[in-house]
Amino acid sequence: MSKKASLAVGAPIEGRSPARMAWERIKKDRTAKISAFTIGIFALLALTAPIFTWILHTSPDQFHPETLDPSFGTNPIGKLGGISAQHWFGVEPRTGRDVFLRFAYGARTSLSIALSATALATIIGVLVGLTSGFYGKKIDLVLSRTMEIVLAFPSILFALAVTPVFENLLESWGVPTGNATRIPVMIIVLSMFGWPYIARIVRGQVISIREKEFVEAARSIGASRVHLVFREILPNLWAPILVTVALNIPTMITSEAALTFLGAGVIDPTSDWGAMLLASVPFYSVDPTYTFIPGFGLFLLVLAFNLLGDSVRDALDPRSSR
Amino acid sequence: MLKYTFRRIISGTLVLGIVSAIVFAIFYILPSDPARLACGKSCTPDLVARIQVALELDQPLPIQYGRFIKGIFVGRTYLGNTDASRECGAPCLGYSYQTDLPVTELLLDRLPATLSIAVGASILWLLIGLSSGIISALRRGTWIDRTSQGFALAAASLQIYFVGLILQFIFVDKLAWLPMPGYTSPFDYPMDWAKQMVLPWVTLAFLLSAIYSRLTRSGMIETMGEDFVRTARAKGLSSRDINLKHVLRAAMTPIVTVFGLDLGSLLGGAVITEYVFNIPGLGKLSTEAVTNLDLPVVTGTVLFAAFFIITANIVVDLLYSVLDPKVRLT
C-alpha cells in the first residue's frame, strides 16, 4: 500500500502504527466526519445549554401560561406547537415550558447518563473479561456462567422492576428521594445489563493473546500477573474495546430513553428526551410537534453514533467491508 | 443430539432456577414490606400481621423460596391448617396483591395478546428483512441496494415509542384508516383483531427488519465468495439454485440466532410496544405490576420472560446443527 511512497526518491521511510493507520482511514471517511460533526453539535448543545437560558431569558422549568390557548386551556397557541422567535421549538402543552431549552437540557441528562453507564459497563466488562480469559479454569467457568445468567434476564422488564427496589434501598441509606436516587439507579441498572457483551468479547480476545510468544516471553523473565494482564495483554485489546464502546453508546442512549419513557427514569422537572416523549403521549394527536422534537433528536443522535461506530470498526479492521 | 438436547435443558433449568432465586432475593430481602403492599388502602397493623401469616412472609427466606419453587412444580396450599385454606394448583406463582387473582391465571390471560404481536410482527419482519437483504446482495452496488441499506440503517436507529406514536397520529387520528390499537380475540372477531394489530406489527417489523436485511445482505455477500459456491457454479447449477439453496442457506445461521433471541424476548412481553399502543399483553401486565409494586406478578412476569429467552437459546443451538452441516453438537 505504501510501496509507492517509500520508493519516492528522498522520502524517508515512515513506520506507521496501526492506530495511526486507522486514524488516517477515519479521516478519509466522509460518513465518519458527518456523524462525528452531528454528535459534536449535540454535545455542544448539551454543554452550552445554560447559555441559551441567558439568551432566551427563561429557564427550562419556567411556566409560560401566556403561550397557551386559554379556550382549550392546555394547547400552545400558533402552529407547530407554538414555534416562535422566542420559543424556537415551541412550548410544552399544559405548562408552556420552552421546548428548545428542555431539549437542550434533555440532551445533557440523556448523554451524561448514557455515557456514565457505558463507562461503568466498559470498566466492569473489561475487568471481568480479562480475569475470565487470563485465569481460565474455575474462575472462567464461574464468570462465564454469570454472564450467561445476566443475559437470560429480560433486561427492560427486570430493569423496570428493580428500579423501585434499588430506590427504596438508597432511600433507606439516607439518599434524598427523586432524581438524586433515580439517576444513579439508572446508571447502575443500565451498566448491569451492558457489561456481559463487552466481557464476552474481551474474554475471547484474551484467550487467543494469552498464548502468544510475547506473553510467553514476558512470563519467562518473571513478569507478575498484573504486569502480564495490564501491560502485555490489555494494550492489544484497545481496538475491539473501542469498537464495542462505540456501538454500545447508542444502545445505552436508547435504553435510557426507553426506561424513562416507561416511567422508571428521570422525573420532572429535570428534562430528559425519554421524559419529554412520555409527557407528549397525552397530547400527540393535538400537538405532534412536541412528540416529534425529542423523538427526532434521539433518532439523529443514535443514527450518528451507529454510523460512527460502523466507521470505527471498518477503520480498525480493514478486512471487514461494507 | 438427544444427549446434547437433554444436557442443554438441564442447564437451562438451572439458569432459570438461579434467575428465580435472584429475583426472589431482590424483591423479598430489600426493604419493601410485601405485607404492607398487599394490604391496600384500608390497612391496619392487625391486618398486616394477618397477611404476613397468610402469605407465609413470617417464615425465613430460604423456606419461603423453597415453597415458592415447590409451588411451581407441585402446587401449594396457603393457610393449610385453617378454614381459610387456599389451594394453588401446579404452576403456582402466588396471588396478585392488587387483584387477588392467581398469577398463573393472569399470565395466561395476557399471553394471547403478546403472542399475536410477536407472531404477526415476526412473520412480517422476516419477509421484509430477508427479501430486501436478498435483493440487496444480488444487486450489490446498484441504487436498489443503496436505497434499501440506507433505509435499513435509518430504521435501525429509530425507536418504537417514537415511530409508534407518529404512525398512530397519521393512520388513526388523521387518516382514520385504522382503529385505535388494542386486542380482541382473533377467534371471535378476526377482522377487528387484525385491524387493531396492524400498527404494532408494522412498527415492530419496520424497526426490526432493518437488522435482518443487513445480516442477510452481508452474510450472502460473504458466502458468494466461498469455494463451494464456485464449485456449485462449475457443476453447472442455475444461479437461482445456487443463490437460494447454497448461499442463502449458509447465510441463515446468524439470522436464525438473532431471530430466536428476538422472538424469545418478545414473547416474554413486548414491553414498549404494548405500553405505546396500550395492548393488554404480558409487557403491559409487567409495567402495571411494577407501578403498583405487585411483587408476585412482577416475579411471575420476569420468570416467564426468562423462560422464553432461555428456551429460545436452546432451540437456536439445536437449529444450528440442522442448518449448518459443519456444526456437530457434542
Give residues with Cβ within 8 angstroms of B34, minimum separation 6: B27, B28, B55, B57, B97, B295
Mean pLDDT of all residues in B248-252: 82
Question: If you average pLDDT over residues B206-220, what whole number do you get?
Answer: 88
3-state secondary structure of B77: strand
DSSP state of B76: E
Of B32, B159, B162, the CB nearest to A165: B32
Identify the CA nearest to A126 among candidates A237, A243, A273, A37: A237
DSSP conformation class of B91: S
Reading the block at residue A260, the C-alpha cell is 424513562
CB contact under 8 A, A161 and B298: yes
Q: What is the pLDDT of residue A219?
A: 87
HEC string of B21-37? HHHHHHHHHCCCCHHHH
pLDDT per position as a tens digit, B87-145: 777 788 878 877 778 888 899 989 999 999 999 999 999 999 999 999 998 888 888 88
Grid cell, residue B327, equals 456444526
**Three cell numbers at B310?**
432461555
Looking at CATH, the fold of the domain delimited by A43-316 is given as MetI-like fold (1.10.3720)
Contacting B with CB below 8 Å, chain A residues are 148-149, 151-154, 156-158, 160-166, 168-169, 172, 250, 254, 257-258, 261-264, 277, 280-281, 284-285, 288, 291-292, 295-296, 298-299, 302-303, 306-307
Instruction: Give me the pLDDT at residue A6, please.
Output: 45
Alpha helices in chain A (DSSP H): 3-7, 18-28, 30-47, 49-56, 99-135, 137-152, 155-172, 179-209, 213-220, 225-227, 238-261, 273-280, 288-316
Structure confidence at residue A226 (pLDDT): 86
List chain B residues with CB under 8 Å of A166. Answer: 30
Q: What does the pLDDT read at residue A322?
A: 43
Rounded to whole angstroms, the Cα distance separating A28 from A24 reads 6
Stretch among A129-133, B12-16, B316-320 having the lowest mean pLDDT:
B316-320
Can you give the pLDDT at residue A302?
A: 92
B134: part of which helix (H) or strand (E)?
A: helix B103-138
The answer on pLDDT for B31 being more than 70 is no
Inform me whether the C-beta atom of residue B166 falls under 8 Å from chain A C-beta atoms: yes
d(CA B242, CA B233): 7
In this structure, is the dihedral angle defined by the CA atoms of residues B98, B101, B105 and B109, taken in order, positive or negative? negative
Is the pLDDT score of B238 beyond 80? yes
User: What confidence category does residue B67 fall into, taking pLDDT thresholds of 50, 70 and 90?
Assistant: confident
Domain ranges of chain A: 43-316
Judged by CB atoms closer than 8 Å, whether chains meet at B165 and A281 is answered as yes
Q: Could you give the CA distance from residue B318 to residue B302 in angstroms, rounded to a whole number?
A: 25
CB A191 within 8 A of CB A121: yes
Three-state secondary-structure class, residue A180: helix
pLDDT at B79: 64
Is the ipTM higher than 0.90? The answer is: no
* Ranges of residues in chain A whose predicted pLDDT is under 70: 1-11, 67, 72-73, 82, 318-322
Matching residue, cell 401566556: A66
pLDDT value of position B30: 59
Contact B184/B281 with Cβ under 8 angstroms?
no
* DSSP state for residue A68 in the 8-state scheme: B
- Name the region of B92 (left: φ>0; alpha: ψ -120 to 50; beta: rest): beta
Higher-pLDDT residue of B30 and A292 is A292
- Each residue of B139-175: pLDDT tens digit? 888 888 888 888 888 888 888 888 888 888 888 888 8
Give every CB contact of residue A106 below 8 A, 6+ residues apart in sequence.
Answer: A271, A272, A273, A275, A276, A294, A297
- Count the Cβ atoms, other than its own, within 10 Å of residue A105: 24
Per-residue pLDDT at B3 exceeds 60:
yes
What is the rounded CA–CA span in Å between residue B257 and residue B313?
8
Taking CA atoms, A251 is separated from A122, A154, A248, in Å, by 13, 16, 5
- pLDDT value for B85: 65
Answer yes or no: are the C-beta atoms of B164 and B273 closer than 8 Å: yes
